[in-house]
Chain A
């Protein structure tokens, strides 16, 4: 019987092992080459999404409807021209009830001309007939149970560990399912890139330690932004939670929005 250590046997085994190693390294370098073409970007790392929990909050009592946030968002994120918005302001006008109608309130009118980014014209309801009127800034609600993430067929939209819901533009195929799924109307199909777009909480700003553009320019601090994991001194977000009774939009849908609102009426959806 031949020993397994015979020269012929040993040489053949060694050559098989060497061929295997060569094949594995060739496959790995081939994969790297393929990745370079399809996906890899060599983007800088260094920001750890597990160390942050970003949150936005809206104090509607403080919103004056100047539209600076909607305008800043367009500029900061290069949002396409026209009726495309990542954040916008809605004006709610609740009319007085008709005398003798027995109603508590009249009709509710909601408008948002150009997302409110150029301010608001005078309302079509005369001032004397207005019972209540107020502004509500809107943006992606950054849901914990996002319908948009559930319906995406290619894993292009996702819930990042830092509390943002983001879109991978390289994976998005522009099918538009997420746009239909979002109950808050926060997404649109970009006519430029043909992919879905929405508020990213200015991801390129918050990862650099800056505030989102809308929060930066808001003159009244109606928009509040902070990090639950790293609160600063007099953290505006903690103060918002302490000083207000907060609510979320469309809570009955079970989407669990991370964006909380203070001072909004029952008519706000």
Chain B
């Protein structure tokens, strides 16, 4: 102890200051580090649960099939079986939670969104030059969207 006090006072003060910084840092670190930090890695583990908490906007095909099983059965038997209901009908979670909320209205531009002829589209896809294909505007006059290989 007596040796420590023989240290020059300016060195001793620096030593004390360094000790103070370490103590303040340790206290701040104890209080400010979230409990879940380091749970999975060098980040806040709780962030995963927070990101997962948000509500979906698209309900998924299975939710639609619960009530609309007839349409669902028609869809999965034909060429459009890979489509989701929400591919054409729009976001469905609000409607699934409360059936009074209406789905988006469909417009006929939606068919040509996929089927308009384009050199960039793969050859296996059925494509039409829509204006030359039909002068009218309603695709459903001839085609059934849920079962496109059928003729009404």
The stretch from A128-136, A180-188, A240-248 touching chain B is A128-136
Chain A contact patch, size range: 35 or more
- B83 proximity list for chain A (CB < 8 A): 219
A43 touches B87 (CB 8 A): no
Which of the candidate stretches B15-23, B54-62, B66-74, B133-141 sits at the interface with the other chain?
B54-62
Contact status of A171 and B49, CB under 8 A, knowing A65-B121, A93-B120: no
Tell whether, in the assembled complex, residue B121 and residue A159 are in contact, meaning their CB atoms are under 8 Å apart: no
Give a binary string over B36-56; 1 marks a CB under 8 Å from any A CB, 0 the rest: 000011111011111111111
Bound together, the chains give a CA A84 to CA B93 distance in angstroms of 24
Given known contacts A39-B34, A64-B114, is B54 in contact with A219 (CB within 8 Å)? no
Given that A204-B54, A204-B56, A217-B84 are contacting pairs, would A35 and B122 also be in contact in the complex, using a CB cutoff of 8 Å? no
Q: Please report the C-alpha to C-alpha distance between residue A203 and residue B55 in the assembled complex, in whole angstroms.
A: 10
Q: Which residues of A contact B55 (CB under 8 A)?
A: 204
Does B118 interact with chain A (Cβ within 8 Å)?
yes
Assess whether A216 is in contact with B34, with CB atoms less than 8 Å apart. no
- Which residue on B lies nearest to A72, using beta carbons? B58
Contact present for B42 and A31 (CB under 8 Å)? no
How many whole Å from B145's CB to the nearest CB in chain A?
A: 12
Please list the 10 inter-chain residue pairs (A to B) with the smallest Cβ-Cβ separation, ordered nearest first: A168-B47, A43-B49, A158-B43, A133-B120, A207-B52, A204-B54, A39-B34, A43-B50, A203-B51, A219-B83
- Which residues in B have some Cβ–Cβ distance to A below 8 Å? 30-32, 34-35, 40-44, 46-58, 60-61, 80, 82-84, 86-87, 91, 113-114, 116, 118-122, 125
- Which A residues form the contact surface with B (CB < 8 A)? 27, 30-31, 34-35, 38-41, 43-45, 47, 49, 61-68, 72, 75-76, 91-93, 119-120, 122-123, 127, 130, 133-135, 155-161, 166, 168-171, 200, 202-205, 207-208, 210-211, 213, 216-221
What are 8 A-to-B residue pairs whose CB atoms are below 8 Å? A44-B53, A75-B58, A76-B58, A168-B50, A171-B47, A204-B55, A204-B56, A210-B58
